[in-house]
Amino acid sequence: MRIVALLLLLAWGQAWGATWYVRPGSSFGGTNAGTSYANAWQDWSSVVYASMAAGDTLIACGTFSYSGAGASFITTVATSGSAGNPFTVSGDCSASGDLARAVIINTGTRGNFLATNTQTYVNIDSFEISGFTNHGIWLCDTAACDQTVTRNINVSDMYIHDTEGNPGANPNAIYMGGRSITVTDSVLVDCGDDCIRGQGKNNTLSYLTISNPGLETSTGDCIGYNGEVDGLVYANNSCVHPEDEKQCFLISGPTDSGLVIVRDNTCTMPTTGTVGMGFYSEAAGQFLRNYTYGASKGMHFYTSYGVVYAYGNISLNNTYQCFGAGFGSLNTDVRLYNNSGYNCGTYGIAFDTNSTLSIARNNAISGATECYWEFNSSSTEEYNDLHNCTTVSTNGAGHSAGSAGMGTITTSPGWVVTAPTSTAGFRLSTDSANRRVGRDLNIGNVQDHGNRAFLHPPSIGAWEVADEDAATARAAASARTARQ
């Protein structure tokens, strides 16, 4: 029994670890050994990472201010965690009566607040970081960033803003390079270039509120991703991109054939833009229930790595197109299923060069010069509602004039708002001609923009009819009761 108790004690000690403290300045006195709030290390330069181990927590307390020149990184983490025992760097000092989110302010020329370097199994949370000229936090090696390293890093509850001042460095709020990195529940504002720039497999970016990228460059995206992409998840993020440049969400230059999931994100861009795109991807995968307002192109796909499934998306008030695929030499295979677009500009749906395998089905488009346009006559358009367009369906250069595909209608979509300004306006009214007239998708578990299952047959557009969902549920419940 004593051996069992000792083993449990050791296990608990490893799981919980020790807690260490760092505070700004030297006015609080104490032994400055980092062992308590009263005896905290004096500023980051005094932190002794060699004293800490896996499972430990370093808590930063208060407001740290830096001016003038100095080391490129205020602190470089030099302690790793392990599976089940991460090393944590936290700014939540509320248990000691201090700030719940430590503040790191740079008014000088310092480049970065924190780097994880080669460390793994590290958690970082609860910081406000501002004024750094290169990056707020750097989740990678400081010498040569290796995207193939599995890092197991988690970042949450961050407020990073005003990362600018060195345009040549393409300043980011967060730079992440490597595998198994998660960034969640954070706010990123006013970034010199991309607010997040990343590469690496099995990474997750979720519940992020991002605005004002590209303050110092013409290449700024809210989130820009390249290199390894397999297992990448973008989910429940919002981007406000007030400038007509680049994208809200970008995946370009992938180096593997992995699949990505991009779902439940929102993008707001200038409604007079001629360059920027809401979502642009050169990777295969699933793009589900996203919303774009403004931009030149709402969503565009260009990849030869595999099939792109895009369904339940809504695109509104674009200057060039709502949804599109292809352009250059890559043979792009896109399935545009049950999307809705309004006031799309030149094209509602555009299948450009080398999009021969692409299919547009069950989409509702209202308001465009051409509701549907294809460069390759082998692309498929069927069971769509193509309404209020100068031309309903055409072929591009070198092809004869097209016509609406099988099952396609041209009546008003019957949205609850004739000229919708938000996603809710795209719901179907009770007398909509789009109710239950689509073609079954046969691709497994598919949800509409409100995350409800499509019916059989489905409706046309991004929203399924809620009242019939309810009726189906009641009928199923009655059937179960009758069987009991």
pLDDT tens string 275-334: 789 999 999 999 999 999 999 999 999 887 888 999 999 999 999 999 998 876 677 889
State how far the Cα of 161 lies from the Cα of 164, in Å rounded to an integer.
9
Least confident of 12-21, 134-143, 149-158: 12-21
Q: Pairing relation of β-strands 41-42 and 196-199?
A: unpaired
CA triplet 281, 285, 324: central angle to 5 degrees? Answer: 45
116 falls in which pLDDT band (50, 70, 90)? very high
State how far the Cα of 206 lies from the Cα of 178, in Å rounded to an integer.
17
In the predicted structure, residue 468 carries a pLDDT above the cut 60? no
pLDDT at 406: 83
pLDDT at 456: 87
pLDDT tens string 385-438: 999 998 887 765 544 455 567 888 899 999 999 999 999 999 999 999 999 999
Mean pLDDT of the chain: 88
Q: Is 469 helix (H, G, I), strand (E, B) or coil?
A: helix
470: part of which helix (H) or strand (E)?
Answer: helix 466-483
State how far the Cα of 103 lies from the Cα of 340, in Å rounded to an integer.
43
Contact yes or no for 295/277 (Cβ under 8 A): yes
pLDDT at 365: 96
Q: What is the pTM of this model?
A: 0.91
Torsion, Cα of 69, 71, 72, 75 (10° steps): -130
The reply to whether omega before 457 is within 30° of 0 (cis) is yes
Least confident of 106-120, 238-252, 402-416: 402-416
- Burial code (b: 16+ CB inside 10 Å, e: under 16) for 451-472 equals eeebbeebbbbbbbbeeebeee
Q: Is 135 helix (H, G, I), strand (E, B) or coil?
A: strand
Query: What CA–CA distances, in Å, run from 356 to 326, 331, 333, 429?
Result: 9, 7, 7, 35
Radius of gyration (C-alpha) of the chain in whole angstroms? 26
State how far the Cα of 220 lies from the Cα of 173, in Å rounded to an integer.
12
The pair of three-digit structure tokens given for residue 295, joined into one six-digit string = 């931009």
